[in-house]
Amino acid sequence: MTVFIVRRLIQSILLILIMSVIVFFSIYAIGNPVDVLVPPDATQAEKDLVVKQFGLDRPIWEQYGRFLLNALKGDMGKSFRYNEPALKLIIERAPATLELAFSALLITIVVGIPLGILAGYRPNALSSKFIMAGSIFGFSVPTFWLGLMLIMVFAVILGWLPAGGRGQTVDLFGIPVSFLTLNGLKHLILPALNLAAFKSSLILRLTRAGVREAVLTDYVKYARAKGISGSRIVLVHVLKNIMIPIVTVLGLEFGRTIAFAVVTESIFAWPGMGKLIIDSIAMLDRPVIVAYLMVIVSMFIVINLVVDILYSFLDPRVRLQELRQ
């Protein structure tokens, strides 16, 4: 077990290192941040000064080396644009993104699992066919387009909900959240729904597949033969069996939701990390781009690791030995 974790950690560090090299060097290739950052009427002397200030006049290897040394000390560099630590900017934006992702996850669970069970338990019922057709729709409609339509219908035509922004926040244990105020909640609904649509369909289909397989197993057939009620069979016998893969997928999907929030945040002007990265790409704010990707990749590595370990505890059939291969 320890060997497994240590090995995974070493792999992960290597991965982060490679990522940082690729990102650092490639952003260097796109454009010169100074051309974007300085005022349009800056003189050459002013430009040269800025180049020197940010250390951009040094060879790229030296710049990278310096970045790496500082990163080891937990300093991901300062934003060219804000003159604030890149990591701080990202962490400031994290609660907004996390709130959005959690809300989407909640909707996913509440919508996806019950409908999936329904569709899986009676696969030939008309309602199930509708659910399945709906789910195909749900994962086919591009997230950004769905977002636009939500805005058009609920904000423009009906005028029920705001078109974007985060709304009023209050501090909960020192973290600003918006779901505790009516105004904040109103702002949260559309983006959360938008982000949840694809995931709900995914979880729905997964649940249905699991239920369908479980229904065919001998012990369920036996339970049915014994005359146990349908709801009891589903809730006790079937659900217990399909919960492990669903929980696993939900865990992994949570990470993906955070990464995919880039799209939803852009459409709904949600002030989260995704919005920050898109803005930073536009301004070639290299320290922020690099730091964001490092943070996200590390998060994924941690989530994957935790899921793998939990999986091995929950399901003894899966041995870590297997995972290692």
Partner 1 sequence: MKKTLKFKDTPFGLIISEYSESTLAVFAFFVVIMIIAIALFAPALSPQDPYDLSKLDLLDGNLPPMSESFSGSIYYLGTDDMGRDMLSAILYGLRTSLGVGVTSGLLAFAAGTSAGLLAAYKGGKFETLLMRLVDLQLSFPAMLIALVLLVVLGQGVEKIIMALVIVQWAYFARASRGAALAERNKEYLEAARGLRLGPMRIIFRHLLPNIMPSMIVIAAIQIARAITLEATLSFLGIGLPITEPSLGLLISNGYRYMLSGMYWTSFYPGIALVITIVSINLVGDRLRDILNPRLKR
Partner 2 sequence: MAAARLRKGSLFILFILLAASFTLNAQTLRVGLATEHEALDPQFSTTGATQQASQQIFETIVKRDSNLQTKPGLALSWKMIDDLTWEIKLRKGVKFHDNSDFNADDIVFTLERIPKVSDSASSYKRNIASIRETVVVDPYTVRFILSKPSPQLPIDLSFIYVISNSIPADATTDDFNKGKTAIGTGPYKLVEWVRGDRFVVERFDSYWGVKPTFEKVIFKPILNDPSRVAALLAGDVDIIAQVPPVDIARLRKESKISVWEKASTRMMYVHMDTERDVTPFVFAKDGSTLTKNPLKDLRVRKAISLAINRDLLTEKVLFGAGEPTGQFVSEGMTGYIPDVKPDPYDLAKAKKLLAEAGYPDGFSMTIHSTNDRYLNDDQVAQAVAQFLARAGIDMKVQALPGNVFFTQATKREYSFFQLGFGNTTGDAARGLTAVLATVDKEAGMGANNRGGYTNPEVDRLIKEASVTSDEGKREELLQKAAQIAIVEDKGIIPLYFQRNLWATQKNLKYLPRTDEYTIAADVVQVR
Contact flag: residue 56 with partner 2 (CB under 8 A): no
Phi, psi of 53 (to 5 degrees): -55, -45
**Per rule CB under 8 A, is residue 281 in the interface with partner 2?**
yes
Choices 18-26, 42-50, 110-118, 180-188 (CB under 8 A): range interacting with partner 1: 18-26
Distance of alpha carbon 251 from alpha carbon 304, whole angstroms: 8
Residue 43 as a binder of partner 2 (CB under 8 A): the answer is yes
Is residue 140 part of the contact set for partner 1 (CB under 8 A)?
yes
Per partner kind, with CB cut-offs from 5 to 8 A, the member of partner 2, partner 1, none near residue 108 is none
Residues 58-117 that bind partner 2 (CB under 8 A): 78, 80-84, 89, 92-93, 96
Task: Please give the structure tokens belonging to residue 148.
Answer: 């636009």
Q: Which one-letter DSSP state was computed for residue 78?
A: B
* C-beta pairs of 314-317 under 8 Å, 24+ apart in sequence: 314/244, 314/247, 315/244
Q: Closer to partner 2 at the Cβ: 72 or 156?
A: 156
- By CB atoms closer than 10 A (0-12, 13-18, 19+), residue 225 is exposed
Contact 197, 137 (CB under 8 A): no
Rule CB under 8 A: say whether 42 interacts with partner 2: yes
Structure-block tokens of residue 89:
């900017």
Strand 170-172 relative to strand 175-177, pairing: antiparallel
Candidates 1, 29, 45, 72: give the one binding partner 1 (CB under 8 A). 29
The answer to whether residue 284 forms part of the interface with partner 2 (CB under 8 A) is yes
Check residue 32 for interaction with partner 2 (CB under 8 A).
yes
Q: Which of 308, 90, 112, 100 is nearest to 195 (CA)?
A: 100
Residue 213 interacts, among partner 1, partner 2, none and using kind-specific CB cut-offs from 5 to 8 Å, with partner 1
Residue whose CB is less far from partner 1, 27 or 203: 27
- C-alpha to C-alpha distances, 45 to 81, 284, 285, nearest whole angstrom: 19, 21, 21
Q: Per rule CB under 8 A, is residue 255 in the interface with partner 1?
A: yes
Q: H-helix or E-strand containing 170?
A: strand 170-172
Minimal distance, residue 175 CB to partner 2, in Å: 12
| Among the listed residues 6, 69, 136, 235, the single contact to partner 1 using CB under 8 A | 136
Instruction: Please give the residue ranges that form the binding site for partner 1 (CB under 8 A).
Output: 15, 22-23, 26-27, 29-30, 133, 136-137, 139-145, 148-149, 151-152, 155-156, 163, 212-213, 252, 255-256, 259-260, 262-263, 266, 277-278, 281, 289, 293, 296-297, 300, 304, 325
